[in-house]
Every structure is written in structure tokens, then in C-alpha cells.
Chain A
């Protein structure tokens, strides 16, 4: 009886391992696929954990609840109905039941664990998860994302653009959006960087937020004379000059004094 108990425990242990591995692999695939989708649409990627974890728990629970002995019996008709019968009569001890248990212990040696594990399928799944991992890395590297907000704005612009045929610049709908440069990369439209015929050579340096007090230099003296042209002069603005006649100036003065006193 102990030997047969051991057989049953071994079957359950092996199946638990297979189910655990399968559930984990499937959950990983679900996580990676959803992660990619979320990152492409610029959503919070950690949300991908929720469906993956849910799947893992449900799949694990279902797998554990499954009747493993029936699975073995289906795969090995030699053991059909015998495993279940011996399990259900495990406490029974008589020559017939003992013989049945011995037969099972002998025949169970023909059962191969690999037959319950679809190696080809699992290999494809592992390969797919590796590919998905690389995809995530590349999409992060090239900052591939489809911003919903921008897309929505673009869509709204597009719709209004089609509706307003008499827009000021003479361009219509799609043409206007194309020329606005809103859908260009974060560096902006190349036209913005052009001044006249000259192209500016701009180097964008990473911003530093920390101030190094040891690195403070003396203020650079600049001569601004060259900046101001010769015809630049200072004059008081007309608005500060009140045009009051001389004979009435005394009257105004007296008026303000009276207000001040009283």
C-alpha cells in the first residue's frame, strides 16, 4: 500500500510541476504581449501584470483541480480505469486489490513524463517570449509609441480641417496638418530651425539640475556698445508730459492741495 501511495504522490507531484511551468509560461506570454501593446499606446505598462497574474492563478487552480489520473489513463490505455479503481480502494486490503496495485506499480514504469509535456509547443512558447522581450527592448530604444492623446487631437484637427474650407493660410485639412509639424518627432520640424537661408547648428546638451558651487566662475565682462546702433538714443515718452496751460497751472495746484488737506 505504501508503494502505491508513493506512486500516487509522484503522479500528483509531476503533474503539479508541469501545470506550474505551463501556467507560468502562458502568464509570461500574456504579460509580454500586453506590455508591448500598452507601451505602444503609451499606457502605464505595469497594468500588464494584472491579467497575467489573474491568468496564472486561475490556470493553476484549474490545473490542480483537474483529475490527473484520468489524464494518465487517457494517455496510457493500459492503465485505463485501473488507476482510479486502485486509488478509490486504497484502504482496501485483499488479494485482488493487492494484485491490482502490484500490476499498476509494474505498468506505471512504462509511463513517460515527457508524454504529458508538449515539448514542441513549449519550445515555441519560450521562443516567442524571447522575441517579445527583444521587441520590448527595441521599442524602448527607438521610442516607438502611438500617443492616443496626440492621435485624438490630430483626428479632431483633421475633422475640423475638412469642415473649415476657408482657413486663413489657404491650406486645407490634411495639408495644413502636414505643414504644422505636430506629428513630427520631438525635435520638431526642420523648418523651425531655419532662419532665412542659414541653417543653425544647434547642439542640445542634457540639462543639469544640480549646481556645483565649486565650479562658479567670475562673471564675464561684456562690452555691449557694439550691440547698440548709433542712432539709438533715450527720450521721455510723450505720455508722461501733461499739456496744461500756464494760467491754469496755479488752479490745478490749489485743487490738489485742497484734496490733500481734506
Chain B
């Protein structure tokens, strides 16, 4: 575990050359990657969401593609389409893969795409495959979708349906940097036009080995029960929560806690991992009721209340 910890430490160090601060965001992106899942990043514009994901792909030597979502984006723009190709006088249909055929797909401002286009990502996210016409194409492994959305400018957007939101393992909230961090950002990017290069620290094989290792991390029975208690508690609070989290959240919380343990250099899951991962796991899986919203509560407040209740 020590060697893994050293790898992650150097990953943070390397990413720190490009992205100032946002250590928690970077950590949660790594956890998503280790869990072989997808994440939804939410934050105001200009908070280095795209930059962080792009840098991550470079560090892991993964094929990166970006989809800028707009209301007129079609599903075939994501999955790919058949084009007519003329070779030696013959016209054939040839499949032209879309941007989804990559290892890390950044779906920028996903809530700007229409539900039809958004759902094109569903199969890719869940089944790691794409079906065009009658043909199903397996995606290259590892495969992750990291989508971003802005909490503002909601006009003309299509909020993600619950079914799709549930497929994202984590909803990572990106906050503003601290004053000192912002000064550092200014110093870094406002003077020189220097293209920062990062070292490749992980490769596909190494990453997939780590993904397999995550599932082997042991967890105590009482902590397992705590996870289920937390998730089921979201369904027992009609005064606060209209819709609770599904069992997929329980699976996700166990996996994410295991991944966090490895990132922190531990060979066991701790209560601290569960408490830290409960927020990004649950915040997009619960829907507050009107009363809670009227009180000005956020989903994070509701999760905090649940965590305090479940000892």
C-alpha cells in the first residue's frame, strides 16, 4: 500500500503543477477512476474543471476526448455514425467512431444537451459499449465519463434525469479557491504563455491493476452496515427528502470508501472514508422536498443530518 500511496502523492504533486489547489476535487476524480466509474463535476465557470480532467488524462496516459454539449448536439455526434466510403469504385458504409471512443470522455456542460443526446451516453457509461444501428461496439478499457455542469444559467438547459444522474458514481462540487491559491493562479497564468508539461505516472495496465485491487480492500462488517444504514435512512425521512437513494448508492459508497482508503495508503476501510464519501455519493441521488427547500437546506445539509443520526 505504501507504493500506491507514493504514486498518488506524486500524482497530486504533478497535477499541482497545472491545477492550483482543488486537492479534494483531484482526489475524488482519482477515486472515480479507481472505481472504474463516472463522475459529475459541478461548479461555477472558470474553476479548472476541464483543466483538471484533461491533466488527469495526461498523467495516466489515457486517450482523452471532449464533447462540448449544446442543445443541437445529436446522439450520433457522440457515439459516431456510418459514413459512405468509396474504395476502388465501391461504396461501403464505414463506421466513424465518435468522441465516446476514448478512455476519458469529458462531457462539458452536459445539462445543455437534449435528453436524447444525454441518454446516448447512458449505455456507454453503464455497459461500456455503444450500439449504432444493429452493431454494438465495445469501448476501449478503461473508460470513464467525466461530465461537468454549471449550477447557474439554468435557462435553456435540460437537467439530468434521475436515472442518468444515478449512473454517475460521484457528484463532485468544485468551490472557489482560497485567496492565496488565487494569487498563485494569477502568478501562474497571467504572465507567461508557457505550456506546462506533466510526467506520465500511470499507464492503462497499472490503472486496471489498481481497479482490481480496490475491490479486494477489506471492510469491517459494522462499517458495511453503517453504509447501508446511511443509504436506507435517506428513504426514511419524508419530512426532509422526497426521494431517497437507491441500492446503487450503497454499492457506490462501499467502493468509493475502499478507493479512498487506498488513496490514503490504508489497506482497510475506515469510518472516516465513509463519512467523506457519503456527500459526493448521495448528493445527486436524493431529492429534497419542498419543506426542506423552503428552509433553505441543501442536499449536503440533509446528508450531514443523516450522518449525525447514523452512528
Question: 0/1 per residue, A74-98, Cβ < 8 Å to B?
Answer: 0000001110111111001011110
Inter-subunit contact A81/B267 (CB<8 Å): no
> Which 5 residue pairs spanning A and B have beta carbons closest together?
A89-B218, A85-B268, A94-B216, A85-B220, A84-B220
Inter-subunit contact B217/A96 (CB<8 Å): yes
In this assembly, does B221 line the interface, its C-beta being within 8 Å of a C-beta of chain A? yes
Distance A87 CA – B219 CA, assembled complex (angstroms): 10
A90: nearest chain-B partner, CB-CB:
B218
Residues of B within 8 Å of A92, CB to CB, are 218
In this assembly, does B269 line the interface, its C-beta being within 8 Å of a C-beta of chain A? yes
A80-B270, A84-B222, A94-B216 known; 17 new pairs, CB 8 Å cut-off, are A81-B223, A81-B271, A84-B220, A85-B220, A85-B223, A86-B218, A86-B268, A88-B220, A88-B221, A96-B218, A96-B267, A97-B218, A97-B267, A99-B1, A99-B267, A100-B218, A103-B267
Distance A89 CA – B223 CA, assembled complex (angstroms): 13
Inter-subunit contact A96/B216 (CB<8 Å): yes
Distance A86 CA – B219 CA, assembled complex (angstroms): 8
Residues of A within 8 Å of B217, CB to CB, are 96
- Considering only residues 83-134 of chain A, those with a C-beta below 8 Å from chain B are 84-89, 92, 94-97, 99-100, 103
Question: 0/1 per residue, B228-269, Cβ < 8 Å to A?
Answer: 000000000000000000000000000000000000000111
In this assembly, does B213 line the interface, its C-beta being within 8 Å of a C-beta of chain A? yes
Residues of B within 8 Å of A96, CB to CB, are 1, 213, 216-218, 267
Residues of B within 8 Å of A85, CB to CB, are 218-220, 223, 268-269
Minimum Cβ distance to chain A for residue B311 (Å): 14
Distance A49 CA – B120 CA, assembled complex (angstroms): 79
Name A's B-contacting residues (CB within 8 A). 80-82, 84-89, 92, 94-97, 99-100, 103
Distance A97 CA – B268 CA, assembled complex (angstroms): 8
Question: 0/1 per residue, B1-36, Cβ < 8 Å to A?
Answer: 100000000000000000000000000000000000
- Residue pairs across A and B with Cβ atoms less than 8 A apart, 20 shown, are A81-B223, A81-B270, A81-B271, A85-B218, A85-B220, A85-B268, A86-B218, A88-B219, A88-B221, A94-B216, A96-B1, A96-B213, A96-B216, A96-B218, A96-B267, A97-B216, A97-B218, A99-B267, A100-B218, A100-B267
Q: How many residues of B contact A (CB 8 A)?
A: 15
B224: nearest chain-A partner, CB-CB:
A88
Minimum Cβ distance to chain A for residue B5 (Å): 13
Distance A99 CA – B267 CA, assembled complex (angstroms): 7
Minimum Cβ distance to chain B for residue A220 (Å): 93
Distance A55 CA – B214 CA, assembled complex (angstroms): 48
Name B's A-contacting residues (CB within 8 A). 1, 213, 216-223, 267-271
Minimum Cβ distance to chain B for residue A109 (Å): 18
Contact of B220 among A81, A95, A99, A103 (CB under 8 A): A81
Q: How many A-B Cβ pairs are below 8 Å?
A: 45
Inter-subunit contact A82/B268 (CB<8 Å): yes
Residues of A within 8 Å of B219, CB to CB, are 85, 88-89
Residues of B within 8 Å of A99, CB to CB, are 1, 267
Minimum Cβ distance to chain B for residue A40 (Å): 48
Distance A103 CA – B269 CA, assembled complex (angstroms): 15
B271: nearest chain-A partner, CB-CB:
A81
Residues of A within 8 Å of B220, CB to CB, are 81, 84-85, 87-88
Minimum Cβ distance to chain B for residue A69 (Å): 10
Residues of B within 8 Å of A84, CB to CB, are 220-222
A94: nearest chain-B partner, CB-CB:
B216
A69: nearest chain-B partner, CB-CB:
B220
A84: nearest chain-B partner, CB-CB:
B220
B222: nearest chain-A partner, CB-CB:
A84
Given A81-B223, A99-B1; A88-B267 close (CB under 8 Å): no
Minimum Cβ distance to chain A for residue B2 (Å): 10
Minimum Cβ distance to chain A for residue B88 (Å): 54
Minimum Cβ distance to chain A for residue B295 (Å): 35
Residues of B within 8 Å of A97, CB to CB, are 216, 218, 267
Distance A257 CA – B72 CA, assembled complex (angstroms): 158
Distance A100 CA – B221 CA, assembled complex (angstroms): 16
B267: nearest chain-A partner, CB-CB:
A100
Minimum Cβ distance to chain B for residue A255 (Å): 113
Minimum Cβ distance to chain B for residue A90 (Å): 10
Contact of A100 among B213, B222, B268, B271 (CB under 8 A): B268
A92: nearest chain-B partner, CB-CB:
B218
B218: nearest chain-A partner, CB-CB:
A89
Distance A86 CA – B217 CA, assembled complex (angstroms): 11
Minimum Cβ distance to chain B for residue A77 (Å): 11
Minimum Cβ distance to chain A for residue B35 (Å): 15
Distance A95 CA – B209 CA, assembled complex (angstroms): 12
Inter-subunit contact B216/A88 (CB<8 Å): no
A89: nearest chain-B partner, CB-CB:
B218
Distance A257 CA – B279 CA, assembled complex (angstroms): 130
Residues of B within 8 Å of A89, CB to CB, are 218-219
Minimum Cβ distance to chain A for residue B266 (Å): 9
Distance A85 CA – B221 CA, assembled complex (angstroms): 7
Inter-subunit contact B268/A81 (CB<8 Å): yes
Residues of A within 8 Å of B270, CB to CB, are 80-81
Minimum Cβ distance to chain A for residue B229 (Å): 16
B268: nearest chain-A partner, CB-CB:
A85
Distance A193 CA – B23 CA, assembled complex (angstroms): 101
Minimum Cβ distance to chain B for residue A94 (Å): 4
